[in-house]
Amino acid sequence: MSLSLVVSRPDLPPFWDGAPVEWSEWSAGGTSLAWHIPADQLACPECGAVEEPAVCFGKRPPESPTVMSTRTKTTRSGRKYAVPHEIKAWGVRDLIAARCRHCNHDVVTDLRTDERWDLDESDYTAEGSYPVGMLF
């Protein structure tokens, strides 16, 4: 009898370009998307199956810890005016993962860069997904 060690991989990359990602649950049902876009846009790039993919969303920390906003102040006479001030930035759902319901191939759309990425095994490591050519 022999034992083999099975190492499980994350369901989706735990990091994207070095930033931690909090992924939502996968969508369970379908929508009317198939009625609104051409079939070739629904086709899986890996296996060619034509069906709406399962979808989930990734939330990353903000690019900077604060953002500029305005606050309304009022003078003694009642005139209102805006004053700029910094507020704490929130994490944003800006990654969309689409998984083929047939072969489980994942494609991630990064809304910050407007790029789509076909994931491979190297993206599912503990270090997550990094741009090609990045050394660390």
Question: Which residues sit opposite 13 in a β-bridge?
Answer: none
**CB–CB of 96/115 below 8 Å?**
no
Share of the chain above pLDDT 90, in %: 40
Q: Domain ranges for the chain, please list them.
A: 15-63+91-124
How much is the pTM?
0.73
User: CA-to-CA distance for 33 and 42, rounded, in angstroms?
Assistant: 9
Mean pLDDT along residues 54-60: 93
Count of beta carbons in the 10 Å neighbourhood of residue 129: 22
Amino acid at 131: P
